[in-house]
Amino acid sequence: MKTKEIIIEIAFKLFLNKGYKNTSMSDLVRETKLSKGAFYHHFENKETLYKEVIDTYFLAYYAQIDWKSSKNLNLSGIELMIKEFYSVFVPEIIAITEKGMSRYFIMFFEAYESYPKFKDTIRVLYKELKERLTEEYEKEGVKKPEIEAIKLIAKYEGILFWFAIYPEEKVNKMIAEL
pLDDT in tens, 136-151: 999 999 999 999 999 9
Cβ-Cβ contacts under 8 Å for 153 (sequence gap 6 or more):
126, 129, 130, 133
Q: Amino acid identity of 10?
A: I
Enumerate the domain spans of the chain.
3-50, 64-177
Q: Residue 97 has what pLDDT?
A: 76
Q: Residue 22 has what pLDDT?
A: 93
Q: Residue 62 has what pLDDT?
A: 78
Domain 3-50 homologous superfamily, CATH: Homeodomain-like (1.10.10.60)
> Which parts of the chain sit beneath pLDDT 50?
none
Asked if residue 40 lies in contact with residue 31, where contact means CB atoms within 8 angstroms, the answer is: no
Q: Residue 70 has what pLDDT?
A: 79
Beta strands per DSSP E along the chain: none
Q: How many residues does the chain have?
A: 178
Separation of alpha carbons 95 and 139, rounded Å: 39
Separation of alpha carbons 75 and 142, rounded Å: 12
Separation of alpha carbons 134 and 149, rounded Å: 5
